[in-house]
Structures are given as C-alpha cells and as structure tokens.
Amino acid sequence: MVTGHGMTKAYLHRFKITHSPECVCANGDQTVDRLIFDCPKLEKEREKLRNSIYIERRRLASAEMRSSEQIPKPIQTVYKFH
Ligand SMILES: [Zn+2]
C-alpha cells in the first residue's frame, strides 16, 4: 500500500482481473489513495486508525518525558549540546 500498489480494483483492472476499476462507494476508481484518504465506506476504520495514532503519540510523548525526568540535570544539559 505504501508504494501505491495493492490489491485495489484499479490495480487489478490494469491486469484485467476485475471488470471495473470503480470503488464500491462509486466515487471513482478504487486506488490506494482513495482507500486511505477518501472512501466513505472506510470512514470508521480511518477514525480508529487516527485514534490509535493519537493515543500512541501521547504514550510516546509521555514515556519520553518520564525518561528525561530520570536523567540528572547536568547530563540533560550536556545532551542538549550534541
Ligand atoms: Zn470508495
């Protein structure tokens, strides 16, 4: 999917494996970009992904803050200059 290739209908249609490249939402060809960013049929999954990314970013930020609190101040200062 990251490379723009995947088992989308647009991709399979190029190789005549499916009759139509159109997405099930009927808003155009079913491409990787449409599935990730636009297809209304996947809005719930997109929202779950956004939430899990948000939670993970907060968890990492919190862990980063905790680890920097454990480093003594003089070492933190030296670390900032590198
Ligand atoms: Zn769609």
Q: Which pLDDT tens digit goes with each residue over 33-75?
A: 999 999 999 999 999 999 999 999 999 999 988 887 776 666 6
pLDDT, position 2: 60
User: 31 alpha carbon to ligand 1 midpoint, in Å?
Assistant: 9
Query: Considering the entire predicted model, what is its pTM?
Result: 0.61
User: 39 alpha carbon to ligand 1 midpoint, in Å?
Assistant: 4
pLDDT, position 6: 83
pLDDT, position 39: 96
DSSP letters for 13-77: HHTTSSS--B-TTSSSB--HHIIIII-GGGHHHHHHHHHHHHHHHHHHHHHHHHHHHHS-HHHHH
Q: Name the DSSP class of 80.
A: H
Q: How confident is the model at residue 4 (pLDDT cuts 50, 70, 90)?
A: low
